[in-house]
Structure 1
Amino acid sequence: MDKENEFENSLGKTLLESDLSKVSTEVLEAVLDQHSGVEGILKDLPVIGAIIGAGKTILSVQNYLFTKKLLSFLKGLSEVDMEVRKDAVLRINSSKKYGQSVGSKLLHIINNAHDHVSSALIAKLFVAFIEEKLSYQEFCKASMIINRIDFYDLEEFLKLPDNAYGQNGTNGIGLEELDNFLINAGLCSAESNSVSVEDQDDWKSSEKYVVKGGETLIYRTSIGTKIYQILSIDN
């Protein structure tokens, strides 16, 4: 079995069988700093054991950072009932529609996360999937967006009220430079009003024609709205 398959299988096993309520900040520190009690943690969380290996040490900065992201993700699932979590994972794993296991998909998503803060947000999205607030496809798309956007731009997005959108995007509250980042990430979209040209009644005292429309309208995408609803709760 190659290393990637070992990681995928061990992450799948962790999601299905591990009591994630035990994952805490103390667990994170014990694993990352090689404190006592690590062996028990490796037994309870197979995916961490697969990353650390027989030597019980994190051999590279890359492994250290990935382990931190992974534990942050698992900690975010700590309050989800194990059986509910298991049912959600098995539902996807047993479907021919998706082509890969949940463990495999999550391995790539978490690996691509900017840091442990992003992976914690992805955990909130995964909980939303488990609670059927997001479909599995929406979870995957939302995770891709989190991994694409700068965290500080995401923070600004989560603070924007509904009335920030509309004509000229966020121009009214001085955040117009943010629009392009939100659009590129997939959180927002833009369209322009149609342009109409009409004769001016009193063109001698003003312009001969009146031009209406053409303003750029910024609005949340469907997936952007769901991300906002799920992640803005804590903001």
Structure 2
Amino acid sequence: MTENRNKELSKSLIETLTSSNLPTIGSDIAEVTIDSVLKEGVLKDFPIIGSLVGIWKTGIAVNDYRFLNKLLLFLQESSTISSVKRENLIHKLEDDKYQLEAGEKLIAVIDKLETGSKAKLLGKALALFGNDFISNDEFWRVSFIIERLPMADIIALKNWRNTDLNQVFEIRRHLYLSVGLGWFVLDASSTGFCWQERLCEIFEQHLIVQ
């Protein structure tokens, strides 16, 4: 995704998240296609959809179909945040220290996600942040994990409490360590590899529940 396109979508995503009526997004996301958006004006009241339509007039790539699906699943899961809380959502997400643009970061993450299932997890994580269940730092750490870990390894976190990280298959353990879900304790009382309990709890209790 080009830088100009990213910035345009970033601005419209912020507007969509903060001022649109997200709960009106239907449950039949899988039936929404680019053709239906272009021809029927489906979801036309959402600024991010309007921006996408403008971009697609110059030509539609295969990746655009995947991006639309992931975006809608993300927005659908985010819709549990009340309109009042969504007004300040983006400001709370931004990191003033590094002057990072939250909308632009979200677009970049959504674009890189492998599947719609991951987009739903990201939307759930945003809802947790918007409803004050997790902090700014925890949201971005969780989004990093969702982006980088294979879905099978994310789902396996449901049983982390009953799993000794030292006994986890080496490749999977390396992945968990690389995204901050565990570390190696170097002291006299060390038990070796240990879980990052707070992050594991977020996935277990809120993101991958049945």
Common fold by TM > 0.5? yes
Specify every segment of 5 or more residues in structure 2 that has no aligned partner in the other structure, as ranges: none
Cα pair 1:52 1:58 within 8 Å, conserved: no
Residue 220 (1) aligns with residue 196 (2): yes
Cα pair 2:80 2:127 within 8 Å, conserved: no
Aligned length: 207
Percent identity reads 24
Report the counterpart of residue 176 of structure 1 in structure 2: 169
Secondary structure of 1:16 counterpart: helix
Higher strand share: 1
The one of the two structures with greater contact order (alpha-carbon pairs below 8 A, sep at least 6) is 2
TM alignment of 1:59-70, pairs within 5 A:
59-70=60-71
TM alignment of 1:1-235, pairs within 5 A:
2-26=4-28, 29-34=31-36, 38-42=40-44, 44-53=45-54, 59-92=60-93, 96-97=96-97, 99-160=99-160, 162-165=161-164, 169=165, 171=167, 175-177=168-170, 178-191=172-185, 194=188, 216-232=192-208, 234-235=209-210
TM score, norm. by length of structure 2: 0.82
Q: Name the amino acid aligned to 2:101.
A: S
CA separation in 1, counterparts of 2:78 and 2:178?
A: 29
CA separation in 2, counterparts of 1:2 and 1:24?
A: 30
Structure 1 residue 218, shift from structure 2 partner: 3.0
Higher helix share: 2
Q: Name the amino acid aligned to 1:114.
A: E
Rg larger for: 1
Cα pair 2:157 2:200 within 8 Å, conserved: no
Cα 1:36–1:158, aligned 2, differ >3 Å: closer, same or farther?
same
Cα RMSD of the aligned pairs, angstroms, is: 2.9
TM score, norm. by length of structure 1: 0.75
